Amino acid sequence: MTDHKRFWRRERAVYRILIVICAVVLIAAIATVYFMAAPVNEINDTENGYSSIPEEDPDRIENGIHLRTGFAEGVGLMETVNNCTGCHSAQLVTQNRMSREGWVATIRWMQESQNLWDLGEEEPIIVNYLATHYTPTDKGRRENLANIDWYVLEE
């Protein structure tokens, strides 16, 4: 066997391994693209006895509530969702009740110290939304006990 032939035989082994690796990478890439591009709902498991679930809108609203966040339905909802739930949950907003000035002051405080961006022309829309749906009510100096779950006390 000449040196040339021996060299070629050895190289062929390496070459084959390379082809296999390339093929695996290609298949993995195709699979990744497939899963990325395909909506999750289309990955059905019907053949395994699972049934497909209906297409769910991530911004579905039921009984006036944006299900994903708990925000109230209304003009400015999506502007608020998109700008106000990046760092903290919507719960931090929906728990609170503030006047228009209070909401503006809170936005300013977040811009000054919490890295909130400039809201641009969406700011008045968001402030309007918040001041409409999360506005204070007068609670007086002490409220009645509410939502009492009555139960029989056994002792």
Partner 1 sequence: MKRRKFVRNTVLSGICSASGVELVFGALMPEGYLPLAFQEEDPFELFEKDRGMVVLNNRPWNLEARAHLLNDRVTPNKYMFIRNNGLIPENIDGSRWTLTIDGEAVEQKKVYSLEDLKSGFKQYTYQLTLECGGNGRSEFNPPAKGNQWTIGAVSCANWTGVRLRDVLKDAGIKDNAVYVGYHSADVHLSRDPTKEPISRGVPIQKALQEETLLAFKMNDKDIPRVHGYPLRLVAGGWPASASGKWVQRVSVRNIVHDGPKMTGSSYRVPCEPVAPGSEVKDEDMCIIESMPVKSLVTFPKSGALLDHGKKLRINGHAWAGELEVSKMEYSIDFGTSWMQCALDKPANRLAWQHFTAEISFPKKGYYEVWARATDSLGRAQPMVLPGWNPKGYLNNACHRIAIKMI
Residue span 109-148 as binding mask against partner 1, x where in contact by CB under 8 A, dash where not: ----xxx--------------------x-xxxxxx-x--x
CA–CA gap between residue 35 and residue 42 (Å, rounded)? 10
Q: Which of residues 81-110 bind partner 1 (CB under 8 A)?
A: 81-82, 85-89, 91-92, 95-99, 102, 106
- Give the residues across from 62 on adjacent strands: 65
Is 20 or 32 the residue whose CB approaches partner 1 more closely?
Answer: 32
Please say whether the beta carbons of 129 and 80 come within 8 A.
yes
Q: What is the residue type of 22?
A: C
Q: Does 155 bind partner 1 (CB under 8 A)?
A: yes
Phi-psi category of 121—alpha, beta or left, where left has phi over 0 and alpha has psi -120 to 50? alpha
Residue span 38-77 as binding mask against partner 1, x where in contact by CB under 8 A, dash where not: --x--x-x----x-------xx--------xx--------
Number of residues that bind partner 1 (CB under 8 A): 45
Is 45 or 121 the residue whose CB approaches partner 1 more closely?
Answer: 45
- Give the residues across from 72 on adjacent strands: 65
One DSSP character per residue, 49-89 reads T--PPPP--TT-EETTEETTT-PBPSTTHHHHHHHHSSSS-
By the criterion CB under 8 A, which residues form the site for partner 1?
A: 32, 35-36, 40, 43, 45, 50, 58-59, 68-69, 81-82, 85-89, 91-92, 95-99, 102, 106, 113-115, 136, 138-143, 145, 148-153, 155
